[in-house]
Amino acid sequence: AQSVTQLDSHVSVSEGTPVLLRCNYSSSYSPSLFWYVQHPNKGLQLLLKYTSAATLVKGINGFEAEFKKSETSFHLTKPSAHMSDAAEYFCVVTEGNAGNMLTFGGGTRLMVKP
């Protein structure tokens, strides 16, 4: 069985400072991992994905994430926050035998202060 835990429900940063959104996963098989972003009243947009290639994955809008198997983590980072980054972020896992079925974390709301 697969599961995802986002360790912080809310994160607040100042504009221009680094962003760290934490995600831990549990998976019986080799997982694929994704980060999605959701702005208010919108659908989910894919930020980046890990699919057993490079462990450091670069995504859109300056975000990146590092897959650490030993720590079962897939934390999302950005060197410098922008006001437009304020949104809800979801860490998502799927397994090779799950037929593309996704398991979502509970989400982390990122707030960016001027």
Partner 1 sequence: DGGITQSPKYLFRKEGQNVTLSCEQNLNHDAMYWYRQDPGQGLRLIYYSQIVNDFQKGDIAEGYSVSREKKESFPLTVTSAQKNPTAFYLCASSTTGWNSNQPQHFGDGTRLSIL
List contacts with partner 1 (CB under 8 A): 9, 32, 34, 36, 41-46, 49, 51-52, 90, 94-102, 104-107
3 vs 14, beta carbon nearer partner 1: 3
Least distance to partner 1, CB of residue 50, Å: 9
Least distance to partner 1, CB of residue 18, Å: 25
Integer CA distances (angstroms), 44 to 18, 21, 96, in order: 23, 17, 22
Least distance to partner 1, CB of residue 2, Å: 11
14 vs 52, beta carbon nearer partner 1: 52
Instruction: Name residues whose C-beta falls within 8 Å of residue 18's C-beta, 6 or more positions apart in sequence.
Output: 77, 78, 79, 80, 81
Largest CA distance in the chain: 44
Closest among 23, 26, 30 to 2, alpha carbons compared? 26
85 vs 95, beta carbon nearer partner 1: 95
